[in-house]
Amino acid sequence: MPLLEDGRLRPDDWTSIEDEAPLPEGPAIVSLARLRAEADALAGRNAPLGVALSPETQPEEVAPFLDRLALVAVCLPKSKDGRAFTQIRALREHHGFTGEIRATGHVLPDQYAMLLRCGVTTVEVPESTDPATWTRSRDTIRIAYQAAQSADRPLSLLRRKLELA
Amino acid sequence: MNALTYPPHARTYRYDEIDREFLQERIAEFRGQVERRLKGELTEDEFKPLRLMNGLYLQLHAYMLRIAIPYGLLNSAQLRQLGRIARRWDRGFGHFTTRQNIQFNWTRLEDVPAMLEALAEVDMHAIQTSGNCIRNTTTDEYAGASPDEVVDPRVYAEILRQWSTLHPEFTWLPRKFKIAITGSPHDRVAAQVHDVGVLAKRNARGEVGFEVYAGGGLGRTPIIARKLRDWVPEAEFLAYMEAVLRVYNALGQRDNIYKARIKILVRDLGAEFTQMVEREYERMPRDKYRLDPEIVAAIGAHFAPPPFAALQDQPLPEDREFRAWAAASIRAHKQPGYASVTISLKPIGGIPGDASADQMEAVADLAERHSFGEIRVTHVQNLVLPHVRQEDLFTLWQGLRAAGLATPNIGLISDIIACPGMDYCALATARSIPIAQQISERFADLDRQHAIGECFINISGCINACGHHHVAHIGILGVDKRGEEVYQITLGGSATNDASIGELIGPAFSYDTIVDAVETLIATYVAHRTAGERFIDTYRRLGAAPFKEALYAPA
């Protein structure tokens, strides 16, 4: 499936690997269980490594591996299941993860702005997606009462609005 | 209409251009979502949470639009506009809710954008009045007026409102999330039966801090909240709230709607929940979430005391009818020569919380004349004029009487909380409103009501407990039993400092016998009470036995 990044579609050059399947040459996304079990072997690969977290996973469980990961995928099994928002924010804020964070699953364009503000990089979207719907949704509301993870300096809460005023 | 026509001294939060722009953007977003739904780009399942977070429910007969009244605070221009909306787009009525909001029960979908535009003209909206997000924070209806107030809770309620508005992390929670805050040692907001309850207080140095409770709630599993912390410093208030919400968003149940509220998580984890919140709080980059004193001061300026005149307390006129109303409706004010007035929306035989467009306009006029243009909505579905000169009380009473708003029953047996029940609600399993009306008519004699004294009856039309029956002195829960509406009675509930969940007294009563049962309970109380005892006091002293016997003993 294509990816949405900065409001534009781009192809996905990563491959998601089943736990029992052999690893391919290129960038690969594995489960946390496999990452744990084969940590050293996976670290020895000569290609970027990513992990897919289930919504139940607490980000600290993946923390020991983050320095060798280029991508963490989180999942919204249903659009109204918002656990991923807390996972994303924790990965950025508590664990200082700077790689790609990808939102997968049933994501609505209406959630795009909030995902970005929590620290998401890319969203996996269906083939027929019109990126304009996503950018329109992202850009409709430009005022926020809270600071975002992506803010270039730590703004105290509510300050953003006050500074604009 | 714009802010320029607002009454100059009404202390509601004043929108600035940024707040207004935000509101317009939000309306544009919703309009776009409706269009995508109509084009089939959004499924009904996808659209539903988006519609709910804009206050729009699909009820039994029509859509219902629930409008946010932040912490129950209105100015007269806003109340007048609500009256206009009721007249133009509803059936001339609005219904004030236990969340200090107002809902219009006969909304047509095609009118919603126009209604939202009309609301935006007076800086109002329907954002987050439904859905699995942080809802309208409720507070003390006597804030800024009550002699026992230690901290003005409106300031922090507004801070919570801004912080929770479209919060990027907490908009897709396991379930709805309700916060109540009080700034008085006497809890008038039912803090301990909220998802989060906050008691604002001061330490010996006069600094503001917060006692924080979590995991209280009613519904089908009533639970009294757990105290998380005795003191959160003002600067760390939002950091601590973030920590609570983070733990809940990560761990709250998602697979069972009936177990998804934070109360279940807190109950199951117990002390571990507190530890998890503390752990999250400790590791947060707290500078980033620090509540700047400058911001508190800027928000606080919106709620500065209005220009009170230097007056003395004075005796009330002798008129007997006026005195009866005054005894029920007037509350002491911290400013000499002033009083707070509660306006009953519970006329005998009426629908609790309903107000007509004419009544809304009448209250708006009276508020402008007598209360700096300020009105509060209470969680028992009444209105309050917070700052009335004692010398104006008689004139105000005459004005209220002319509008049919002077029923002297505040805090008495006919001051009933009732959910909309099966007359409107798609979830209800029994009617609530007619039961409230019949009880009110049975006890119509106001002298008798005064003789009975303070007694709270709350009625819910289903197990979800929107009528807060668990925390009433006499709680009534309507359920469906093989196609018949029957009513269970719980006794001894309380939502104040001594919060308690009422106990089920015995088998349910039919629609035709429930009012007689209430009469029997009252007769039992009157027969057993000692001087000065309220219903709840007698119940607590004697326990359920005499009441049970009176209700169920063979005649």
Mean pLDDT of B372-394: 97
Per the CB < 8 Å rule, is B171 touching A114? yes
**B385 shares its domain with B439:** no
Q: Supply the pLDDT for residue B99.
A: 86
B499 pLDDT band, cuts 50/70/90, is confident
Give the DSSP letter string of B117-166: HHHHHTT---TTSSSSSB---EE-TTTTT-TT-SS-HHHHHHHHHHHHTT
Q: Touching check for A156 and chain B: CB below 8 Å?
A: yes
**B288 shares its domain with B153:** yes
CATH of the domain at B389: 3.30.70.3340
Tokens standing for B221?
A: 């599993």
A164 pLDDT band, cuts 50/70/90, is very low
The interface residues of chain B toward chain A in range 40-59, judged by CB-CB distance below 8 A, are 41-42, 46, 49-50
State which residues form the domain around B371: 320-402
The interface residues of chain A toward chain B in range 89-128, judged by CB-CB distance below 8 A, are 89-90, 93-94, 108, 110-111, 113-115, 117-118
CATH of the domain at B74: 3.30.70
Per the CB < 8 Å rule, is B295 touching A142? no
- Is there a domain that residue B409 lies in? no
Chain A residues touching B256 at Cβ < 8 A: none
**B363 shares its domain with B476:** no
Q: Supply the pLDDT for residue B1.
A: 44
**B115 shares its domain with B161:** no
How many domains would you assign to chain B? 4
Q: Supply the pLDDT for residue B205.
A: 97
**B429 shares its domain with B514:** yes
Per the CB < 8 Å rule, is A141 touching B285? no
**B424 shares its domain with B398:** no
Is residue B131 over pLDDT 60?
yes
Cβ burial of A141 (10 Å; 0-12, 13-18, 19+) is: middle
- Is there a domain that residue B256 lies in? yes
Per the CB < 8 Å rule, is B25 touching A143? yes
- Is there a domain that residue B410 lies in? no
More confident residue, B109 or A151: B109
* Non-local CB neighbours of B455 within 8 Å, separated by 6+ positions: B412, B413, B473, B474, B522, B534, B535, B536
**B184 shares its domain with B293:** yes
Q: Supply the pLDDT for residue B546.
A: 97
pLDDT in tens, B192-202: 999 999 999 99
Mean pLDDT of B342-350: 96
Q: Touching check for A147 and chain B: CB below 8 Å?
A: yes
Q: Which string of b and e fits B263-280 if b means at least 16 CB within 10 Å?
A: bbbbbebeeebbebbeeb
Asked which of B370, B402, B434 is the last residue of a domain, the reply is B402
Q: Touching check for B276 and chain A: CB below 8 Å?
A: no
- Is there a domain that residue B397 lies in? yes
**B22 shares its domain with B106:** yes
In CATH terms, A3-164 corresponds, of 3.20.20, 3.40.50, 1.10.3470, 1.20.120, to 3.20.20
Highest mean pLDDT among A68-77, B5-14, B212-221: A68-77
Mutate to test the interface with B, among A107, A125, A146 (most CBs of B within 10 A): A146
**B103 shares its domain with B18:** yes
Per the CB < 8 Å rule, is B246 touching A114? no
- Is there a domain that residue B261 lies in? yes
Measured between alpha carbons, how far is B141 from B150 in angstroms, rounded to an integer? 14
Per the CB < 8 Å rule, is B17 touching A143? no
- Is there a domain that residue B158 lies in? yes
- Is there a domain that residue B224 lies in? yes
Give the DSSP letter string of A106-146: S--GGGHHHHHHHT--EEE--TT--HHHHHHHHHH----SS
- Is there a domain that residue B134 lies in? no
Largest CA distance in chain A: 56
**B374 shares its domain with B429:** no
**B218 shares its domain with B293:** yes
**B169 shares its domain with B286:** yes
Q: Supply the pLDDT for residue A159.
A: 56
